[in-house]
Amino acid sequence: MDGFVPDYVLEEVCGTPALAATLVRAGLWNEVTRESQEGSSVSGESGWQFRNWSEYNPLRSELEEKREAERIRKANYRKSQKRPDNVPAGHPEGHQAESSPPDPTRPDPTPLSTEANASGGQAAEPEQLFSEPETPDALEPEESMTTNSQTIVAQWLENVTGPRPPSRVVGQLSKEIKNLLDEGHDYADVLTATQAWSRKASHPSILPSVLHEIRNPRTMTRGSEERLGAGLSLAQRAGRLNDQVNPFETKAITT
């Protein structure tokens, strides 16, 4: 069963029943008992089931189908770029089509130069230069237990001192955390950003900005500090001078 977390797995990853109960209350897990297989003497196995598991963790077959469809699309696009100009598909190369403005197309991602490199080897094919990134397979519950968005959300909920946050806030925060982890951001950095966000009491959508602020703290160079100090000194001197001059004082005019 995809997304099923047995009791013993929770202990192996140093989880606690209290943490699991928090995830159930937050609506991220369901407490279930898996039915025994037909013909087996083993009783049902207790544990927890991730909600909407298939929505966020597609099957391997689905990922392979998407990659194959994308590969075919790119191959057809490269093939269409090799036809002479103004010759529509399905016509021989000697056929001259009617003159008409060409349809806008995306920039050709294939390399401009196909000459041999300096070592004398053959130039790489476009498909080799622009290889498709491999999509990681869906993690098993044992592997994703300690580094997924739901774990961070559970830790945040455990530290909430006031009333429990609305379900929409919990769901939006879980989505923002998952997006950051899917982008490859470090788990510890995302956890730190979530802790900093919880002190702001702001909308979960600012979590990426909080992560950016943590990684790029505002600093002042030595030269900037010196210029700031000089400016403050001038301001103080000007203030003392203004205190000594009364703009409303009447003075006799001498000739």
State residue 198's pLDDT score: 86
- Cα separation, 126 vs 109, in Å, equals 8
Report the interhelical angle of 207-215 vs 167-182 (nearest 10°): 50
Enumerate the β-bridge partners of residue 6.
Answer: 47
Extract the tokens encoding 236.
Answer: 């103080």
Annotate 138-160 with b (16+ C-beta within 10 A) or e (fewer). beebeebbeebbbbbbbebbeee
Q: Which amino acid is at 27?
A: G
In terms of Cβ atoms closer than 10 Å to its own Cβ (0-12, 13-18, 19+), residue 254 is: exposed
Kindly give the confidence (pLDDT) of every residue in the chain, 255 residues in length, as a single tens digit, with 9 standing for 90 and above: 467 888 788 777 777 888 888 888 888 888 888 775 554 444 578 888 888 777 767 667 777 888 899 999 998 988 888 766 555 555 555 555 555 555 555 555 555 544 445 445 555 444 444 444 444 444 444 444 445 788 888 888 888 888 888 888 888 889 999 999 999 998 888 899 898 888 877 888 988 988 888 888 765 556 665 665 666 566 666 656 655 555 555 555 555
State residue 126's pLDDT score: 44
The domains of the chain are located at: 147-218
State residue 145's pLDDT score: 43
Residues 6 or more apart whose CB falls under 8 angstroms from that of 205 comprise 172, 176
CB 137 within 8 A of CB 60: yes
Extract the tokens encoding 186.
Answer: 């470090």
State residue 54's pLDDT score: 72
pLDDT digits (tens, 9 = 90+) for 75-125: 898 888 876 655 555 555 555 555 555 555 555 555 554 444 544 555 544
Count of residues in the chain: 255
Comparing CA positions, the residue from 76, 30, 69 lying closest to residue 52 is 30
- Cα separation, 237 vs 210, in Å, equals 40
State residue 72's pLDDT score: 93
> What contacts 24+ positions apart, CB below 8 Å, involve 14-21?
14/146, 15/145, 15/146, 18/158, 19/151, 19/154, 19/158, 20/48
Residue ranges in the chain assigned as alpha helix (H): 7-12, 17-25, 53-56, 60-81, 126-129, 141-144, 149-158, 167-182, 187-200, 207-215, 222-244
Extract the tokens encoding 100.
Answer: 């008409």
Enumerate the β-bridge partners of residue 45.
Answer: 34
